Amino acid sequence: MRILKALRKEPIDRIPFWYMRQAGRYLPEYNELKNNDSFLELATNVEKAIEISIQPYKRFKMDAIIMFADILTPFHGIGIPLEFKEKIGPILQFDVFDKIDKNKLKNFNPEIQISYIEEIIKGIKHYINTIQDNNLALIGFSGAPFTLLSYLIEQGTSKKFEKTKEFMFSFEKEFHILMNDLTELTIQYLKFQIKAGVDLVQIFDSWGGNLSSQHYEEFCYPYMEKIIKEIKSLVPVILFVGNNAHLLPLLVKMKPSCISLDWRINDISVIPEEIAIQGNLDPLVLYGKPERVQKEVLAILNRFSKRGNFIFNLGHGIYPNTPLHNVEVMVKTIKEYSLNE
């Protein structure tokens, strides 16, 4: 598999690529299949989730399929009320001070509560085996404890994370107890996916960059380090932390297999050669003219390809209104790029 070879710094014929949120609303075939189903209905429908997962591969032939799910899937499984509202995002009902709610985090049993995830992974794996593309990897994923806890505290998405930080600084003991519970839940969830057949995983700490490096080290680092160490012994681990420039030294200390960079980062001198890198096109570049897209993609390829363990990706998830013809330009530019240049 091209991506696994790149992670191991083995010879590859071209730069491997996939991109975050590659299965979704920017694809007309997704919207046609979605019809009037909610996101949660799609994500829990095995047949549709498999098809949605493979749709982008059928169109663009990237080097990895990432299963169609959400980082909040375990919460749905353990019985935390969850709904996804159009243009608003997830809405959860959880009380960090309620004993019953907190105990739910300790009673995660993925084999029973979210067995459909195993069926989705096995269905995608069956498709990969059927088409016999030896370069195609299957990526599993999870949210990171801090990001997951932020969703619980804010009861949805947030811009300032006031409630999260207030709880973190005012109730430190309780915060760490919940982080520990979410760490165990995350390890369980990732091991469940690995057993089902994923080839590598990505951990999304989407909101981690909202913390200073000092606070990330105090409140997140021990938990992330534990997850990475345990899972990396089984499969490669890609770590994505949103807005992560100031956190790079800490991310390096965690020793993931690969660090996913956002578009704000150019200087990677702090990342040792044994850690692969992934990224880092600004997804909004894909709203520009095709020649601008090509120019930006080539700049990233020229900057990072000589490293030998680079995976092309976006610096964040692709947006729903992204023009398809610009995605085609990006993909064509990557595939035609010569590693001998």
For the chain, the domains span 2-336
Q: How far apart are CA 206 and CA 210, in angstroms?
A: 9
Angle at 305 between CA 331 and CA 125, to 5 degrees: 55
pLDDT score, position 341: 57
* Backbone phi, psi, residue 201, to 5°: -135, 155
Q: Which amino acid is at 156?
A: G
**H/E stretch holding 276:** strand 276-281
pLDDT score, position 85: 78
Residues whose CB falls within 8 Å of the CB of residue 280, separated by 6 or more in sequence, listed in order: 260, 261, 262, 263, 265, 300, 313, 314, 315
pTM for this prediction: 0.96
pLDDT score, position 304: 95
Q: How far apart are CA 23 and CA 64, in angstroms?
A: 11
Query: What string of pLDDT tens digits covers the 341 residues of the chain?
Result: 999 999 999 999 999 999 999 999 999 999 999 988 988 999 999 999 999 999 999 999 999 999 999 999 999 999 999 888 776 778 889 999 999 999 999 999 999 999 999 999 999 999 999 999 999 999 999 999 999 999 999 988 877 899 999 999 999 999 999 999 999 999 999 999 999 999 999 999 999 999 999 999 999 999 999 999 999 999 999 999 999 999 999 999 999 999 999 999 988 999 999 999 999 999 999 999 999 999 999 999 999 999 999 999 999 999 999 999 999 999 999 999 988 75
* Backbone phi, psi, residue 288, to 5°: -85, -170
Between helix 172-196 and helix 99-106 the angle, nearest 10°, is: 30
Class of domain 2-336: alpha beta
Q: Which amino acid is at 302?
A: N
